[in-house]
Structure 1
Amino acid sequence: MNIITSNFKKGQVHLRVTDSDDLWYLSHIIEPGDLVKGKTTRKMKIGDSDNAKVTKKTITLKIEAETIDTGAGATTLRINGKIKEGPEDIPKDSYHSISLEDGSDVWIEKPQWLSYQKQKLKEASEKKFTYLMCIFDREEAIFALTQKQGYEILVKITGDVPKKSKTNTITKDFHQEIIKALETYAGRYQPESIIVASTAFYKDDLYKKITNKDLKKKIVLAICSSVSERALDEVFRRPELAKTLEHSRAREEQLIVEELLAEIDKENLAVYGWDDVFKAGNAGAIKSLIVTDNFIQQKKEDKKYTELDTQMKHVDTLKGTIHIISSNLESGKKVDGIGGIAAILRYKI
């Protein structure tokens, strides 16, 4: 995302969408009541009624947002609301939508920009650090690419399992298949680092067989307990990868959720579920508010987003931090499993 101009005193920013990740951020920045300006299309009839032709004309509108929806494939973000500014021939307060995609310019105006919303803008505008991950054992391998809000599974491959008498070996072809995939994805995505993790000693054997020097110097080895999406989250938390993944938002989210779960296990400085979080928020006790995007979407669908928004603003005013976690991540699924919203407290209540 490019921040073209910003004037938070007036509540105004001008942004340019540069990749689909930006749409995820904007879906949590734009709220009902915000003024959003952008280009859209309108069907127009040209000619008399008997010979009229319908054509599409590009226009610029400013609307007051009412609903914000992610399109199919998460490649568009659709904001619908009443028109506040536009061409003279379009009636004000009639409904229209603005769709954002890669390359779109958008102007957003809010009564107040909260700290976490400014932080989301900052995150989206920072350099996108990409990491390629491969976790494998003697039977299968998973390749994933980190994104700003998590990771994308690229492919899962399966090797020929040796006979029981050779259970601690990997076939030569499977090693070469993994190396070939690493070379392909490294060339396609140009990752900052490549994390190769395995159970047992398989990673070391694989590393010795890599002859591509450019590929080899990007690789960081790690340990995982299994080959699964859950293991990807495990690798994110490995202490030996702290330096390598210092720019990974997914790692930050993993760690904050781990801290939350540790406090819950100790029955100490944590609450979860809407009712208990609401009480803790009203008491001013929340240090870190953790909420999933699924929970936010459900509140919007239930027409109860205002109460969540009010609570988030209250936490922000009291200098608490707000973490919006993707429900596609294992950490997000864990938070969804305890109600979709939780908090780490400043003090026990």
Structure 2
Amino acid sequence: MSDDAIGSTMRILGEDPASGGIKVLIETDEDIWHLYNVIEVGDLVTASTTRREEKAADKLRAERAEKKRMTLGVRMEKIEFSEEDLRLKLLGTIETGPQDIGQHHTLILENGDSLTISKPHWRETQLERIKRAVADSKKPRIVFVSLDQDDATIAVLRQYGLKEVVSIRSGRSGKQYAEKPQVDGYHAEIASKLEPLIEPNMPVVLLGPGFEKETLADDLKRMRPDLFGKTYVYHTGQCGMAGINELLKAGMGADVLRDSSVGSEIEAVERLMSEISKPEGLGTYGTEEVRNASLAGAVDLLLILDSKVREQDLDDVVRAVESQKGTVMVVSGQHDGGKSLASLGGMGAILRYKLG
């Protein structure tokens, strides 16, 4: 494995070709999601962790003994991703370390932690995933506020999908609304919920039916021009999460969305569904159909669900598409586009020409 194969970044701390090990530093929530898609059962994961000291002479004392920090290598048996607290939970058997070889242990990994992943063989799709994590970390997340005059929903677009953060009721009475204060209380509450989510240069997208979004845009810029300078306003027929999904499916038409992997994935799946629905369309789906089209050099865009990449070795299909200058996109199962692709069996392709 060369440096070029995995990308050059501070998050790749080192690699050992002899053991097939790559050492990674987790710097963002998205890194955790990418690693969940790379680590598989049978891998050896080595990381700093805590475990009670071994005290064979006094089992009762051992139960109450203080936990000590140590580095353990754990052979993977189960991998879990917690979207709620954004942690990676890795369960398996201790294979290397100062104690308890052969016993079970759980590694809990989150932002700031480093780990070494050792595999007998790295698949191209897994190396590509690490490379993608490097590239995507440079792209901004997007914060959405989907609202009308009664309710607002704030959601964050991460690389692995859309996450609702909070809902806010306007609580307006007719009198309050008639008074028109300098900054509306409803809008002030939205701003207070947005402030901890926003980072410099992070796009904020305001959307919904009616004119409430335009008024909010004005109020946000008046309150914090430094924070809400990069604000985009879009009209949708619905508000809430339904409105955000409506906007994502429409492609938004702005660089703000095209710079996000989720936006590109949803748009690509929509294109695939459209081609499949046409009588003479250039869309195909299903593992065997897509594999045959790939090996025939007929695939322009290959879409694979991330869970399918985790579960199967599809390197031959990926190599076939890339060798014919086609594009390969791994789609997250966490958003509506991924769910649509899952309903097609997790694999689909847009073809250059119709196969006989």
TM-score interval, smaller chain? 0.7 to 0.9
Unaligned 5+ residue runs, structure 1? 164-168
Q: Which residue of 2 aligns with 1:204?
A: 214
Code of the residue aligned with 2:239 in structure 1: it is: V
2:289 is the alignment partner of 1:276: yes
SS of corresponding position for 2:304: strand
Q: Which residue of 2 aligns with 1:217?
A: 229
2:110 aligns with one of 89, 101, 106: 101
Aligned length: 330
Contact conserved, 2:23 with 2:115, CA < 8 A, in 1? yes
1:1-349 to structure 2, matched below 5 A, reads 2-7=10-15, 11-46=20-55, 48-49=57-58, 52-54=61-63, 55=65, 56-71=67-82, 73-87=84-98, 89-91=99-101, 95-125=104-134, 126-127=137-138, 129-159=140-170, 176-191=184-199, 192-210=202-220, 211-212=222-223, 213-215=225-227, 217-236=229-248, 241-267=253-279, 268-281=281-294, 283=296, 285-293=298-306, 295-296=307-308, 305=311, 308-309=312-313, 312-318=314-320, 319=322, 321-349=327-355
What is the CA–CA distance in structure 2 between the aligned matches of 1:281 and 1:95, rounded to whole Å?
A: 42
Contact conserved, 2:54 with 2:100, CA < 8 A, in 1? no
Tell me how far 1:109 sits from its aligned partner. Answer: 2.5
Contact conserved, 2:11 with 2:27, CA < 8 A, in 1? no
Contact conserved, 2:51 with 2:68, CA < 8 A, in 1? yes
Contact conserved, 1:198 with 1:224, CA < 8 A, in 2? yes
Alignment deviations for residues 115-171 of structure 1 (CA, whole Å, 9 cap, x no partner): 4433432343423513221122233322112212222212223346999xxxxx999
Code of the residue aligned with 1:103 in structure 2: it is: G
Code of the residue aligned with 2:187 in structure 1: it is: I
Tell me how far 1:2 sits from its aligned partner. Answer: 4.9
Contact conserved, 2:291 with 2:317, CA < 8 A, in 1? no
Tell me how far 1:232 sits from its aligned partner. Answer: 0.9
**C-alpha RMSD of matched pairs (Å):** 3.5
Code of the residue aligned with 1:196 in structure 2: it is: L
What is the CA–CA distance in structure 2 between the aligned matches of 1:232 and 1:23, rounded to whole Å?
A: 24
TM-score (norm 2): 0.77
SS of corresponding position for 2:256: coil
Structure 1 residues 231, 292: CA separation in 2 closer, same or farther (over 3 Å shift)? farther
What is the CA–CA distance in structure 2 between the aligned matches of 1:228 and 1:24, rounded to whole Å?
A: 25
Alignment deviations for residues 291-347 of structure 1 (CA, whole Å, 9 cap, x no partner): 335x54xx98xxxx3xx22xx211222225443333331222222333333233344
Greater mean alpha carbon deviation, residues 147-156 or residues 276-285 = 276-285
Code of the residue aligned with 1:317 in structure 2: it is: R
What is the CA–CA distance in structure 1 between the aligned matches of 2:351 and 2:119, rounded to whole Å?
A: 29
What's the % identity of the aligned pairs? 26
Contact conserved, 2:171 with 2:186, CA < 8 A, in 1? no
Structure 1 residues 189, 128: CA separation in 2 closer, same or farther (over 3 Å shift)? farther
Structure 1 residues 321, 230: CA separation in 2 closer, same or farther (over 3 Å shift)? farther
What is the CA–CA distance in structure 2 between the aligned matches of 1:344 and 1:64, rounded to whole Å?
A: 39
What is the CA–CA distance in structure 1 between the aligned matches of 2:133 and 2:148, rounded to whole Å?
A: 35
What is the CA–CA distance in structure 2 between the aligned matches of 1:259 and 1:331, rounded to whole Å?
A: 10
Structure 1 residues 123, 274: CA separation in 2 closer, same or farther (over 3 Å shift)? closer
Structure 1 residues 316, 45: CA separation in 2 closer, same or farther (over 3 Å shift)? same
Code of the residue aligned with 1:181 in structure 2: it is: E
Contact conserved, 2:251 with 2:267, CA < 8 A, in 1? no
What is the CA–CA distance in structure 1 between the aligned matches of 2:32 and 2:178, rounded to whole Å?
A: 42
Unaligned 5+ residue runs, structure 2? 1-8
Structure 1 residues 217, 97: CA separation in 2 closer, same or farther (over 3 Å shift)? closer
Contact conserved, 1:287 with 1:344, CA < 8 A, in 2? yes
Code of the residue aligned with 1:193 in structure 2: it is: P
Alignment deviations for residues 172-207 of structure 1 (CA, whole Å, 9 cap, x no partner): 58x824421342244212242211122244433444
Tell me how far 1:259 sits from its aligned partner. Answer: 1.8
Structure 1 residues 157, 107: CA separation in 2 closer, same or farther (over 3 Å shift)? same
What is the CA–CA distance in structure 1 between the aligned matches of 2:352 and 2:106, rounded to whole Å?
A: 42
Tell me how far 1:26 sits from its aligned partner. Answer: 0.5
Structure 1 residues 72, 265: CA separation in 2 closer, same or farther (over 3 Å shift)? closer
SS of corresponding position for 1:53: helix
